[in-house]
Structure 1
């Protein structure tokens, strides 16, 4: 590839952080080498802003951080909020009504993200694991409608049964057009809904074109799941991880080894160093 890459965008879970929830030394070293060459590095994640901050600092990014699939773009250095696009309150209530149908209610843990805080109906075992990994305390409120004092940034439904999540996604995609809601999976057990105007591709385009004055050809992006697809399609070089679902690998230009094999370091080595 002869285009000059000036921006490297990295997803967190399944990309720079595997089971250990830490960035491996090899990956960190490769990212440092990229920055030493004058290439900017940014994080684009489905995670909450607060939960993603430590990764942003660890990779030494000086750009705004893309959280919640790009619905929340904030610069940690200046605290400047570049973007915050929310889900309409009415839509959040409709989703909740859907999740609370008798046949679904006991199967799903529902998360509302409001002002970078996590609200749940009750603390399920799935929610506890999620809180532990993200380093965020979940606030149990009983009826989630009470938490909707303002519009949520994201709505998430979590279930260990991936078939239930797949059915949820296809059935809600029939009810909402892409112009009404952005629906995706960030891992096989997470159904996510955000503002229809956003996805990681839109967020990365904003960083590249609006803030840095570069084009898609100058961008390399690495991710591992369905919420990374738009970003991988946008970037001049889109790399999927070896642990990515085959549909995600199919749209990438190159497939790196898995996260546990430090695939990001291998991809950086191949294209940037």
Structure 2
């Protein structure tokens, strides 16, 4: 499915100076690697002088290999943009964690009797992953991320530091949707940013964090560009803000319908190298 809106006719590929890519479901599918067509398309865009960056919900350490593989020279925006770090000099440009008290409140909520056995809760602190116990969901997540989780029993033990992100996993998407709805009624967007990056992942970050503010930082603060000079590609609800911010926002064919609806164009799905198709259409033609 492909669609163009009147809005994207005004922005030509030659206006684009920055391309920002999500990882999972966008440039990396089931294989958890970059395909040759996607790598080639990214390299071709870079050869035309377009800067390429990554904005992901992943941990910084987990996203690093993708950042290196595409040869990005910009800081990497991890944890939905809560942690922006330059791998070249290790400078942390931005770190906006969740307040300790709010993290405690979320943990209390997750540990209610009716939820405790259903959820795997992840606290990300100093780019380490802390969990209560190693559940099956956590082990699958850890394998894909290439991260060793640290099981600590009571997660309150690690709350002497503020978490960069809090994640609750559950195979039952109805549980995740209910969690999202309930907590959005308890916390305003000014108190907490709540989203899903995958249908089975509930994610909470600092209220000033989302991929839109991260991309704005890279474009405007670091490169002196405007939103009209930016193209973004993503596949899920945590990509909405960066798709809305960019001059050209592209959703993947595997994105939920509501995400596709706000994009200017819908690419083929990730397994069909849709990101490569989008790059070719807008930046290489």
How far residue 147 of structure 1 moved from its aligned partner, in angstroms, is: 1.3
Q: Deviations over 1:113-152 (max 9, x none)?
A: 0000000000000000000000000000000000112100
How far apart, in 2, do the equivalents of 1:248 and 1:98 lie?
Answer: 28
Identify which of 17, 30, 36 aligns with 1:6: 17
Is 2:197 aligned against 1:212?
no
Alignment of 1:5-44 (within 5 A): 5-44=16-55
Partner residue in 2 for 1:234: 245
Secondary structure in structure 2 of the residue aligned to 1:8: strand
**TM-score relative to the length of structure 2:** 0.95
Runs of 4+ in 1 over 3 A off after TM superposition: none
How far residue 198 of structure 1 moved from its aligned partner, in angstroms, is: 1.1
Q: Deviations over 1:60-80 (max 9, x none)?
A: 100000000000000000101
Is 2:135 aligned against 1:124?
yes
Partner residue in 1 for 2:170: 159
Secondary structure in structure 2 of the residue aligned to 1:272: helix
Secondary structure in structure 2 of the residue aligned to 1:129: helix
How far apart, in 2, do the equivalents of 1:215 and 1:238 lie?
Answer: 14
Identify which of 97, 105, 111 aligns with 1:94: 105
Q: Deviations over 1:54-107 (max 9, x none)?
A: 000001100000000000000000101100000000000000000000000000
How far apart, in 1, do the equivalents of 2:76 and 2:198 lie?
Answer: 20
Aligned-CA RMSD value:
0.5
How far residue 30 of structure 1 moved from its aligned partner, in angstroms, is: 0.3
How far apart, in 2, do the equivalents of 1:232 and 1:249 lie?
Answer: 10
Q: What residue ranges of structure 1 are gaps of 5+ in the alignment?
A: none
Q: Deviations over 1:186-221 (max 9, x none)?
A: 000000000001100000000000000000000000
Q: Deviations over 1:237-263 (max 9, x none)?
A: 000000000000000000000000000
How far apart, in 2, do the equivalents of 1:85 and 1:143 lie?
Answer: 24
Partner residue in 2 for 1:183: 194
How far residue 52 of structure 1 moved from its aligned partner, in angstroms, is: 0.3
Is 2:148 aligned against 1:137?
yes
Partner residue in 1 for 2:235: 224
How far residue 41 of structure 1 moved from its aligned partner, in angstroms, is: 0.1
How far residue 8 of structure 1 moved from its aligned partner, in angstroms, is: 0.1
How far apart, in 2, do the equivalents of 1:93 and 1:21 lie?
Answer: 33
How far apart, in 2, do the equivalents of 1:210 and 1:26 lie?
Answer: 31
**TM-score relative to the length of structure 1:** 0.99
How far apart, in 2, do the equivalents of 1:149 and 1:41 lie?
Answer: 36
How far apart, in 1, do the equivalents of 2:162 and 2:212 lie?
Answer: 23
Partner residue in 2 for 1:113: 124
Q: How many residues align?
A: 273
Q: What residue ranges of structure 2 are gaps of 5+ in the alignment?
A: 1-10
Partner residue in 2 for 1:68: 79
Secondary structure in structure 1 of the residue aligned to 2:104: helix
Secondary structure in structure 2 of the residue aligned to 1:87: coil
Q: Deviations over 1:139-166 (max 9, x none)?
A: 0000000011210000000000000000
